[in-house]
A and B are shown apart, each in its own frame.
Chain A
Amino acid sequence: MMSRATNARSSAERRVLDEAGGLRAMTWVMAIMLFLTMLAAALGLATAGAARLLDRQLAGRLTVQVVDGDPVRRDVAAARVLAALRTMPAVATATPVDRAELTRLLQPWLGSDGADPQLPVPAMIDVDLADHDEAAASRVAATVRRLNPSVRVDRHESWMSPVNDVMRTLTFLALALVLLMASATAAVVVLAARAGLQTHRATIAVMHMLGSTDLQVARLFQRRIALDATIGGVGGGVAALLIVTFIGIRLRGLGSDLLGGVALGGVDWVVLALLPVAFVVLATLAARVTIVRALRHIL
């Protein structure tokens, strides 16, 4: 009974503003805005996730290279460095990369020549640090260089930092796009609300004379814009989610370690799913503030 009365009231209130049937332009605008925003947000979330994954994978990892043209001297030096590394508290694990693995890594560039034992390939040791901070890595590098000045220490983080920088740049770009789209949406709502006020000026004047408060009038517009934003948001949101899912499947299909990290986690999907709700709230608030401010200038 109560809900029938409530429905009757909201239906009656909806009728106060002329509701031309069918989907209004505002619905389409909201759908397009939300579609683009969700794509930008998905890009930002995925690149942020990939950057975090890279950080986790690369942080505190070093490769120590012992470079010597004489294989015997090289192996002796490598053994000393390995032994020294394993005694350092800052080092969690130190693992020599065996010759077969090195040959496999060289295969794309040298072909079968990479297996030649006379080839002056450096001896390599993979090191995982116990502490992932800059100071620990520097201490380890300085120690092994004192043992053998020809030793080269490569930090994995520095190899991949350009990639990580690109990922972070994309994340910030996506965030900026999301903010821009949100601002544009708010601006569209403000313009639509002002146009609506102009269109319904006569009706609003009558309602004021009948004792309507500004909030009552604003509520009519709010409801209308919230409805447009909801319908548009659902349409644009579903379309965006389908596209994001499709791209995710394609990326996983590439089998690339690097691009495989550009994926959405569970929290990311929740954030994406909440974007339409945030848009509806934003549109509703923008409409309310615009209408109430405009009505203040009318007696």
Chain B
Amino acid sequence: MRKRQYGHWHGHQAGESGRNHVMANIVQFENVGLRYGSGPDAGPETLSDLSFTLRSGAFYFLTGASGAGKTSLLKLLYLAQRPTRGVIRLFGEDAVVLSRDRLPGFRRRIGVVFQDFRLVPHLSTWDNIALPLRVAGMPEADIEQPVREMLTWVGLGDRADARPATLSGGEQQRVAIARAVIARPEILVADEPTGNVDPDMAERLLHLFESLNKLGTTVVVATHDFHLLGRIPGAQMMRLDRGRLLDPTGALRYPPTRPE
């Protein structure tokens, strides 16, 4: 297991930005298409001819109207779905032909904030946040500190024992975010992560993502909220429209752009 340092959640003092490092491609899509269903039940292509690369340590916003395919694209990224065609390279390996046995190892390197949170309803806030660390086999004694720090960071220190049903939508979202980032993933994929929180909390959560990004995590945030786009200096944007990326070159430079 990779050695993780958890004492960095309280601020942005992480030092040199991860984005300032030389970045390699962490994700590469080549002519990727996705169609749900098969045979006579197959629907139209939800995603078509997607070709782009995500560079390690960069910050991306994914925008587009409802139904544009943002969630489907994220599903491909966090390996919940295999594409119907095309090639996806993830961490330098062909993710399309990845054997099922290797998926867990890849998934542990990806943090996901689901649009519907997907918290485990009978687990406390604490246990929900600790879940990725337990799945990764971290000793129980080592789990306490990072979970406590995450709880504090997302402002839920006093709700550690609460079940999701007793939390507000915003609180649930913060738990979902804490769960996604606690294991220091190499890629963080977030589907509308600020949809249920007030502007202040949205800003705080973005700063959390930014902190993580500065430590080298590649962040992909799907959002409708155009106000957020200018909040992360150097972030890049992907725009999806009816399953296609609007920029046919695959160069993700719609403002705000990251200076090369």
Name which of A22-30, A165-173, A209-217, A263-271 contacts chain B. A209-217
Chain B, residue nearest A9 (CB):
B140
Q: How far is the CA of A9 from the CA of B140 in the complex (A)?
A: 6
> Digit string of A232-268 for contact with B (CB within 8 Å is 1, else 0)?
0000000000000000000000000000000000000
Name which of B36-44, B120-128, B193-201, B229-237 contacts chain A. B120-128
CB atoms of B140 and A5 under 8 A apart: yes
Task: Determine the interface band of chain A, counting residues with CB < 8 A from chain B.
Answer: 20 to 34
| Interface membership of B21, Cβ < 8 A | no
CB atoms of B122 and A211 under 8 A apart: no
Residues of B within 8 A of A135 (CB): none
| Interface membership of A100, Cβ < 8 A | no
Name which of A125-133, A153-161, A178-186, A200-208 contacts chain B. A200-208
CB atoms of B140 and A211 under 8 A apart: no
Q: How far is the CA of A5 from the CA of B142 in the complex (A)?
A: 10
CB atoms of A206 and B120 under 8 A apart: yes
Residues of A within 8 A of B78 (CB): 209
CB atoms of A211 and B135 under 8 A apart: yes
Chain B, residue nearest A206 (CB):
B118
8 Å CB interface, B103-139 against A: 103-108, 112, 114, 118-123, 127, 130-132, 134-136, 139
CB distance from B232 to the nearest CB of A (A): 25
CB atoms of B118 and A211 under 8 A apart: no
CB atoms of B132 and A210 under 8 A apart: yes
Given A12-B127, A15-B123, A212-B135, A5 and B141 contact (CB-CB distance below 8 Å) = yes
CB atoms of B112 and A211 under 8 A apart: no
| Interface membership of B14, Cβ < 8 A | no
Residues of A within 8 A of B3 (CB): none
Chain B, residue nearest A215 (CB):
B104
CB distance from B119 to the nearest CB of A (A): 8
CB atoms of B107 and A209 under 8 A apart: yes
| Interface membership of B80, Cβ < 8 A | yes
CB atoms of A210 and B140 under 8 A apart: no
Cross-chain contact of A210 among B105, B127, B131 (Cβ < 8 A): B131
Residues of B within 8 A of A12 (CB): 127, 130, 134, 140
CB atoms of A16 and B123 under 8 A apart: yes
CB distance from A35 to the nearest CB of B (A): 32
Chain B, residue nearest A1 (CB):
B141
Residues of A within 8 A of B82 (CB): 299
Given A5-B139, A216-B135, A205 and B104 contact (CB-CB distance below 8 Å) = no
| Interface membership of B145, Cβ < 8 A | no
Residues of B within 8 A of A296 (CB): 100
Given A12-B140, A216-B135, A299-B81, A211 and B123 contact (CB-CB distance below 8 Å) = no
Residues of B within 8 A of A203 (CB): 120
CB distance from B95 to the nearest CB of A (A): 12
CB distance from A235 to the nearest CB of B (A): 26
| Interface membership of A18, Cβ < 8 A | yes
| Interface membership of A70, Cβ < 8 A | no
CB distance from A3 to the nearest CB of B (A): 11
Chain A, residue nearest B130 (CB):
A12
CB distance from B127 to the nearest CB of A (A): 6
| Interface membership of A13, Cβ < 8 A | yes
| Interface membership of A8, Cβ < 8 A | yes
Residues of A within 8 A of B114 (CB): 209
CB atoms of B132 and A211 under 8 A apart: yes
CB distance from B106 to the nearest CB of A (A): 8
CB atoms of A207 and B127 under 8 A apart: no
Given A8-B140, A216-B135, A210 and B107 contact (CB-CB distance below 8 Å) = yes
CB atoms of A207 and B135 under 8 A apart: yes
CB atoms of B135 and A299 under 8 A apart: no
Q: How far is the CA of A299 from the CA of B140 in the complex (A)?
A: 28
Residues of A within 8 A of B179 (CB): 210
CB distance from A39 to the nearest CB of B (A): 38
Residues of B within 8 A of A202 (CB): 118, 120
CB atoms of B134 and A13 under 8 A apart: yes
CB distance from B93 to the nearest CB of A (A): 16
Residues of A whose CB lies within 8 Å of any CB of B are: 5-6, 8-9, 12-13, 15-16, 18, 202-203, 205-213, 216, 296, 299
Q: Please give 15 more A-B residue pairs, beta carbons under 8 A apart, in addition to A208-B104, A210-B107.
A: A5-B141, A6-B140, A12-B130, A16-B131, A18-B122, A203-B120, A207-B131, A209-B80, A209-B107, A210-B179, A211-B107, A211-B132, A211-B136, A213-B101, A296-B100
Closest 8 CB pairs of A and B: A211-B108, A211-B107, A18-B122, A8-B140, A211-B104, A213-B104, A5-B140, A9-B140
Q: Would you give 10 A-B contacts (Cβ < 8 Å), ordered by A?
A: A5-B139, A202-B118, A206-B119, A210-B131, A210-B135, A211-B104, A211-B107, A211-B132, A212-B135, A216-B135
